[in-house]
Amino acid sequence: MTAPTDPVASESLATAAEPGNTATGDTGAPSAPVRIGGVAIPGLRFRITPQHIRDYGILVFAAALFIYFTVASSTFLTSANLLNIVYQNATIGIAAVAVTFTIIAGNFDLSLGSIFALSEVLGAWAAVHWGVAWCFPVAIGSGAIMGLINGLLVTKLRVNAFLATLASGLSFGGIAVGVTHGGLLITPTSSAFTFIGQHKAAGIWDSAIIFIVLAVVLQLVLAYTVFGRHLYGVGDNRNAARLSGLKVDRITIQTFVITGAACGLAGLIDSSTTGSGTSSQAGLAGQLALLAIAGVALGGTSIFGGVGSVWRTVLGVLMLGMITNGFDLIAVADYWQNIVRGILIIIAVAIGFVVDRR
């Protein structure tokens, strides 16, 4: 068996191979040796660390929820219901996997719902006045521009991301109401407008496919590109990243642009699903920031930056969807959904905080 080439993995294995090493702060009992094919590998040991719990604990929670709802409801474990969970949470998931980048880079974005709503009505307006083909570039492009504005506020004007996106979100939401003349629906007459939101390919909704593809692409970018590594560096220590030569402001702006474009895409899908664009904050637009960031936090991404993963965000979003779906199937009162969601998020954040302190 050859030694791992990853320096982090090498250090981890070396530390685990010396239980009771006071230099590393490990004074616990020796961990069990790793066995491969029933054969113990000398000097190679494995022990569960807080980092493992933070990074992979969500798999345990998701499996527990999945098993519980499978036993409690005969309808839960059906292909139609499982696909329905993905479909119902696709727009939230699209925004969540993108804002994961922003949060890993050490920032926050509270304007997700307003970008979603304004992109939705602009896409519908373009479909009515310029043709359906224009709804795609207008919705996604306008979302990207709003993300750019957020990025510039944070990096060039040095406004705190929380306050900057809160303020911009109010402005974007107001513009959306103005575009719709006080909240009127914008309804394109062409049936092609509803294609992306109401069409299925091989029995799977197009919106669910887009969510899955986007999540895979962003996970690959985060894990295997220089840009992804730079995100972790900026989020972990902004000053050190700047001293190392990283273009911190540019990277920060790029994360906001990606988030904005994704929210624009989500808004387009929502308007295509319903057949019209609306500026109302009473529906998904009013809850999008809360639900997306809740999925990110549940997935173990640190709200302080430097730690996170897209695949865990996907699990976090789907767990929230499972709670809603499963509790509806077993006729549990709605308020229990929020109670369970809140408890799970608190546990995830607490685990992350403990790991960060170590």
Same domain, residue pair 66 and 40:
no
- Compute the distance between CA of residue 47 and CA of residue 269 in angstroms, rounded to an integer: 45
Same domain, residue pair 185 and 97:
yes
pLDDT the model gives residue 95:
97
173 in a domain, yes or no? yes
317: its two tokens: 């979003």
Same domain, residue pair 276 and 340:
yes
2 in a domain, yes or no? no
310 in a domain, yes or no? yes
- Compute the distance between CA of residue 229 and CA of residue 69 in angstroms, rounded to an integer: 38
- Compute the distance between CA of residue 208 and CA of residue 96 in angstroms, rounded to an integer: 14
Same domain, residue pair 20 and 90:
no
Same domain, residue pair 56 and 34:
no
How many other CB atoms are found less than 10 A from the CB of residue 30?
12
CB 73 within 8 A of CB 83: no
pLDDT the model gives residue 40:
55
Same domain, residue pair 125 and 29:
no
Same domain, residue pair 263 and 286:
yes
The tally of domains found in the chain comes to: 2
Same domain, residue pair 57 and 16:
no
Reported as a pLDDT band with limits 50, 70 and 90, residue 38 is: low
Same domain, residue pair 72 and 177:
yes
Please write the tens of the pLDDT for every residue from 222-247. 999 999 999 999 999 999 999 999 99
Q: Is the predicted pLDDT of residue 19 greater than 90, yes or no?
A: no
pTM of the model: 0.84
236: its two tokens: 């972990």
- Compute the distance between CA of residue 192 and CA of residue 208 in angstroms, rounded to an integer: 18
Same domain, residue pair 232 and 129:
yes
Same domain, residue pair 322 and 220:
yes
Range of the domain at 103: 50-357
Write phi, then psi, for 116 (nearest 5 degrees): -55, -50
pLDDT the model gives residue 191:
85
Collapse the DSSP code of 180 into the 3-class scheme (helix H, G, I; strand E, B; otherwise coil) and give the result: coil
Q: Is the predicted pLDDT of residue 24 greater than 50, yes or no?
A: no
**Percent of residues, the chain, with pLDDT higher than 90:** 63
Of the candidate ranges 99-103, 154-158, 251-255, 339-343, the one whose mean pLDDT is the lowest: 339-343
The residue count of the chain comes to 358
Write phi, then psi, for 246 (nearest 5 degrees): -75, 140
CB 188 within 8 A of CB 128: yes
